[in-house]
């Protein structure tokens, strides 16, 4: 299952970020990919497995259920 997650991540990066950009340096590309992962993919992207909620919304929902 972990392979599928990584494969989806790389496909998303290629399709939505890398192919649409022209980077002057490898460092620019690395920074852009890291920003995409840290600021979009991890916290905001909606996941079908979690009821189409972003990770942040899913965690908030869990916290509300525990209170």
Residue 64's pLDDT is: 87
Residue 16's pLDDT is: 78
Q: Taking a C-beta distance cutoff of 8 angstroms, is the pair 18, 10 a contact?
A: no
Stated pTM of the model: 0.53
* Chain Cα centroid distance, residue 61: 19
Residue 25's pLDDT is: 95
**Mean pLDDT of each 10-residue bin along the chain, 67 residues long:** 75 82 92 84 68 79 82
Residue 66's pLDDT is: 84
Structural domain total, the chain: 1
Q: Which domain holds residue 40?
A: 2-66
Minimal CA–CA distance to 13: which of 39, 38, 36, 30?
36
Residue 28's pLDDT is: 93
């Amino acid at each position: 299952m972990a392979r599928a997650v990584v494969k989806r991540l790389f496909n998303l990066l290629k399709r939505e970020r890398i192919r649409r950009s022209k980077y002057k340096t490898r460092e620019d590309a690395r920074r852009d990919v890291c920003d995409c992962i840290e600021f979009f993919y991890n916290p905001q992207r909606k996941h079908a497995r979690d009821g189409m909620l972003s990770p942040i919304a899913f965690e908030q929902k869990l916290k509300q259920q525990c209170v």
